[in-house]
Structure 1
Amino acid sequence: MTDTQWWQPVRHVDRRPLLLARNRIQAAIRAWLADRDFTEVDPAGLQVSPGNEAHLHAFATTAIGNDGQGVPRYLHTSPEFAMKRLLAAGETRIHAFAHVWRNRERGVLHEPEFTMLEWYRAGEDYAVLMQDLAAWAQLAAREAGGILRFRDRTCDPALPYERLSVAEAFQRHAGIDLLATMGQGGETDAPALAAQMDAQGISHMRGENWSDLFSRVLSERIEPQLGQGRLTVLDRYPAAEAALARRCADDPRCAERFELYACGVELANGFGELTDPTEQRRRFEAEMALKQDRYGETYPIDEDFLAALALMPAACGCALGFDRLVMLATGAPRIRDVIWVPAG
């Protein structure tokens, strides 16, 4: 049987308990959100722009009008642009279990179509999102068996989560002073980071930029150490790695961006949201210039989104890979095992 024949009865009998656990986890989180006055919304997947991050790749199509003329459209990589428009419209607490699509992604932890739980809180500090995630991880574990598992790693979400900055993590796990490779305004210095990597025996390729080097250290030395035994919140990302987040008030080199880890697996990505349309446009243009240079393509900037951003209140928001949470809660070996109907 091929990998796509999940529908064979002999396979489904093994998958079904995992899928029923998924339903219980989703119902428990929905009830939690309803109890706290969140409104569930349902953003459309077809958008003018799929997002403007250099290393996210979209599925493109053509929308044919009644006149027979076509215009390019994309399946979104996140419901973010649509949901921020709703904040601009006056909503204050919203969430969505949204199907999203990302091209060039398939593996144990990746599927080209997956479910993202995205939610926003207007007028609140982004640290509250970390508390939301900790509560949901406990709900998921309770509904599926008690702890989170991935391969030989475990994480007990009932324990208080660890919160450390990216700079602290680089120092602790890689022996690198990350802030020393950044200017006071957040400018990055690739040779300075490469020199520290050389001193720590971390290999890299000639010509890699600062972001490439940062990602290499993060994936090789930092991420495997996170979420071991308890949840880890990796906080205060470099501003250069946070295109949609506002900068930290006490240090413009850093931004109000965090990621949640369990068992070495990234589960969520949260922000204190940037609401300055001029600054957001500048960052989008920089991301698309990098995308053009690296991949030979760009995506349009959503002008309607930037117009709405000017009306958006101060807010925080986060995206949780819902399938990954279910995968760890059930101990499933791969993400496809907890998706009712995986993409072909």
Structure 2
Amino acid sequence: MSIDWRPTAEIATLRERARLTGQVRAFFAARQVLEVETPMLGHGGSTDVHLDSLSCEATTSAGRERLWMQTSPECHMKRLLAAGSGPIFQLARSVRDGEVGKRHNLEFTMLEWYRPGFSLAALIDETDALIREVLPQDPGPQRRHRYRDLFRESLAIDPFTASIDALRQLAGTRGDLDMAGAERDDCLDLLMSLVIEPTLGREGLDVVIDYPASQAALARQHRDPEDGEWVASRFEVYLEGLELANGYDELTDANEQQARFHEDNAARRALGKPQVTPDERLVAALRSGMPAGSGVALGLDRLFQLALGRDSVAEVMAFSTPSA
């Protein structure tokens, strides 16, 4: 049997990738943002119900331990912030189980950076500037959209006030699925991915803000001025129907962070998903005092895919997971 040993990206593409990576590093060097490296393995994994962490058994100074492959460098980088690092960025190898497709790979490169003292609006503008630095063509104007307004415009429904029955019916119809018993966020995620996301970033760089509070993850929350509804202080950036970046006004409350870890694992249990060990070192770092500020994670392979005009992330990686 013949084994295909060849790279999934052309060598010329890899040269272009190296050039673009240099541009990214120069972008942050000009802004005096420190490049750091953090471990791919940690004692805690991501408890996020929408992410699936991989783990391994390893021999350490403490003996045989279960270590978690990091779905992003977030927890380690926040520990650096708490230790006084100042603004930092990283080109991190990240691993997520089940991430397969033209836009996904089990192993990928996450560009993540943190800006102590930055507002979310300031970080949105810096993310916009970074994307424009890498793309060979002008992506068009930046446009900001409130999450609930997108649902109102595209689906004639308010995602915050609609009944769960209405959301299940709409999601089932749009997805041609049986959504009976589905949770609220499951319905919203399906509608977002099937109906709204494909339309975003077609006439510019679209930024979505004010997500439901239930989707805050590791972000702060604030009140929607329209009706006082709690919303997540986060944003996502889209271009050509592709999600490129996800940013937060970072949560700094240790007790709230610990509570969210427990809530995530409870949700995982309810769905029959395996439990994930929370990163207690992050909680300890927050107790010691992490400076207020904002951070963002950007899928570098996706950005390079768009910049180089390729059809999949595999075409800008030396070896995608199936061929590795």
* TM-score, L = length of structure 2: 0.92
**Which residue, 130, 134, 147 being the options, matches 1:166?**
147
Instruction: Encode CA deviations 1:244-279: one digit per residue, 9 max, x unaligned.
Output: 110124445211111110110111100001111111
The 3 A distance-change label for structure 1 pair 38 and 46 is same
1:323 aligns with 301
Q: Once the 2 structures are TM-superposed, how far is the Cα of residue 57 of structure 1 from its aligned partner?
A: 0.9
Deviates more, 1:19-28 or 1:101-110: 19-28
The 1-side partners of 2:29 and 2:70 are apart by 26
Q: How many residues align?
A: 317
Q: Is this contact kept in 1: 2:113–2:296, CA < 8 A?
A: yes
Superposition CA RMSD, Å: 2.0
Q: Is this contact kept in 1: 2:154–2:196, CA < 8 A?
A: yes
Q: Is this contact kept in 2: 1:22–1:326, CA < 8 A?
A: yes
1:314 aligns with 292
Q: Once the 2 structures are TM-superposed, how far is the Cα of residue 123 of structure 1 from its aligned partner?
A: 1.1
Does 2:260 align with 1:283?
A: yes
Q: Is this contact kept in 1: 2:151–2:159, CA < 8 A?
A: yes
1:17 aligns with 12
Q: Once the 2 structures are TM-superposed, how far is the Cα of residue 118 of structure 1 from its aligned partner?
A: 0.2
Q: Once the 2 structures are TM-superposed, how far is the Cα of residue 196 of structure 1 from its aligned partner?
A: 5.8
The one-letter code of the counterpart of 2:95 is: W
Q: Is this contact kept in 1: 2:168–2:180, CA < 8 A?
A: no
The 1-side partners of 2:229 and 2:79 are apart by 27
Q: Once the 2 structures are TM-superposed, how far is the Cα of residue 290 of structure 1 from its aligned partner?
A: 1.3
The 1-side partners of 2:217 and 2:25 are apart by 29
The 2-side partners of 1:201 and 1:51 are apart by 30
Q: Secondary structure at the match of 1:81?
A: helix
Instruction: Encode CA deviations 1:216-255: one digit per residue, 9 max, x unaligned.
Output: 1101111011000211001111110112110124445211
Q: How does 1:162-241 map to 2 (within 5 A)?
A: 162-181=143-162, 190-194=164-168, 203-204=176-177, 205-241=179-215
Q: Once the 2 structures are TM-superposed, how far is the Cα of residue 17 of structure 1 from its aligned partner?
A: 2.5
1:133 aligns with 127
Q: Secondary structure at the match of 1:32?
A: helix
The 1-side partners of 2:239 and 2:271 are apart by 31
Q: Once the 2 structures are TM-superposed, how far is the Cα of residue 38 of structure 1 from its aligned partner?
A: 0.2
The 2-side partners of 1:192 and 1:290 are apart by 22
Q: Is this contact kept in 1: 2:142–2:207, CA < 8 A?
A: yes
The 3 A distance-change label for structure 1 pair 4 and 90 is farther
Does 2:269 align with 1:292?
A: yes
The 2-side partners of 1:5 and 1:36 are apart by 40
Q: Once the 2 structures are TM-superposed, how far is the Cα of residue 51 of structure 1 from its aligned partner?
A: 1.5
The 1-side partners of 2:143 and 2:6 are apart by 38
Instruction: Encode CA deviations 1:32-52: one digit per residue, 9 max, x unaligned.
Output: 111111000001111011222
The 2-side partners of 1:295 and 1:139 are apart by 43
The one-letter code of the counterpart of 1:273 is: E
Q: Is this contact kept in 2: 1:243–1:284, CA < 8 A?
A: no
Stretches of structure 2 that go unaligned for 5 or more consecutive residues are none
Q: Secondary structure at the match of 1:115?
A: strand
1:242 aligns with 216
2:109 aligns with 115
**Which residue, 44, 51, 56 being the options, matches 2:51?**
56
**Which residue, 96, 99, 103 being the options, matches 2:97?**
103
The 1-side partners of 2:132 and 2:12 are apart by 19
The 3 A distance-change label for structure 1 pair 18 and 41 is same
The 3 A distance-change label for structure 1 pair 243 and 83 is same
Taking only the aligned residue pairs, the percentage that are identical comes to 35
Q: Once the 2 structures are TM-superposed, how far is the Cα of residue 134 of structure 1 from its aligned partner?
A: 1.5
The one-letter code of the counterpart of 1:277 is: A
The 2-side partners of 1:286 and 1:252 are apart by 20
Q: Is this contact kept in 2: 1:258–1:271, CA < 8 A?
A: yes
Q: Is this contact kept in 2: 1:50–1:78, CA < 8 A?
A: no
The one-letter code of the counterpart of 1:160 is: P
**Which residue, 65, 76, 95 being the options, matches 2:60?**
65
The 3 A distance-change label for structure 1 pair 195 and 45 is same
Q: Once the 2 structures are TM-superposed, how far is the Cα of residue 82 of structure 1 from its aligned partner?
A: 0.3
The one-letter code of the counterpart of 1:220 is: L
The 1-side partners of 2:49 and 2:2 are apart by 33
Q: Once the 2 structures are TM-superposed, how far is the Cα of residue 331 of structure 1 from its aligned partner?
A: 1.1
Instruction: Encode CA deviations 1:60-91: one digit per residue, 9 max, x unaligned.
Output: 10121357x31110110010000000110112
Q: Once the 2 structures are TM-superposed, how far is the Cα of residue 3 of structure 1 from its aligned partner?
A: 9.2
Q: Is this contact kept in 2: 1:96–1:118, CA < 8 A?
A: yes
Q: Secondary structure at the match of 1:237?
A: strand
The 3 A distance-change label for structure 1 pair 197 and 291 is closer
1:337 aligns with 315
